[in-house]
Each structure stands twice: as structure tokens, then as C-alpha cells.
Amino acid sequence: MRMRYDREGDVLDMLVKEAQIHHAEDYGQIIVNYDEEGKVVEIEIVDASKLLGGFLAQIIKVPKREMVEIV
């Protein structure tokens, strides 16, 4: 998996595999791109800093080797 972050557009792009995108589905701030067989090719997160900022802040606070549920 390869990830890129566009600071100007605030978009996090996660390339799962190299393939032609056939169609996409929009889940609010998350866009999932699929190949012709319906397998995930790429995941895009729009306004990534807003969506993931709180999530990442909680992860940083977790002590080593401890599982935590983030709601």
C-alpha cells in the first residue's frame, strides 16, 4: 500500500494496488475506487486532517501494547 497526502487539498490517498479504476463509491468524506472486478484499488479521504486529526491524537495517547477503542 502506498499513501500520499495533499496538504493543499487536505486529501489522503491510499493506493491499495496498481489497477485501472472502473467505478467509485462515495461514503461522505471517504471515496473508494474499485476495479472492474469490484476489488478496492484506492481509498481517498477528503478533509483528512479534520476526519483523522482526533483519531490520530487518541492513538498517540495510548500506552504501548494497549488496545483502545476509538468512538
Whether 11 maps to a domain, the answer reads yes
Report residue 37's pLDDT band, with 50, 70 and 90 as the boundaries.
Answer: very high
Q: How many structural domains are present in the chain?
A: 1
Whole-angstrom distance, CA of residue 36 vs CA of residue 29: 23
Percent of the chain with pLDDT over 90: 48
Domain that holds residue 47: 2-61
Report residue 48's pLDDT band, with 50, 70 and 90 as the boundaries.
Answer: confident
CA R_g for the chain: 14
Whether 70 maps to a domain, the answer reads no
Q: Which residues contact 22 (CB under 8 A, 6 or more apart)?
A: 34, 35, 36
Mean pLDDT score, 15-19: 95
Whether 29 maps to a domain, the answer reads yes
Whether 71 maps to a domain, the answer reads no
Is the pLDDT at 59 greater than 80? The verdict is no
Whether 9 maps to a domain, the answer reads yes
Whole-angstrom distance, CA of residue 13 vs CA of residue 4: 5
Mean pLDDT score, 24-46: 96
Whole-angstrom distance, CA of residue 17 vs CA of residue 67: 29
Whether 67 maps to a domain, the answer reads no
Whether 15 maps to a domain, the answer reads yes
Whether 38 maps to a domain, the answer reads yes
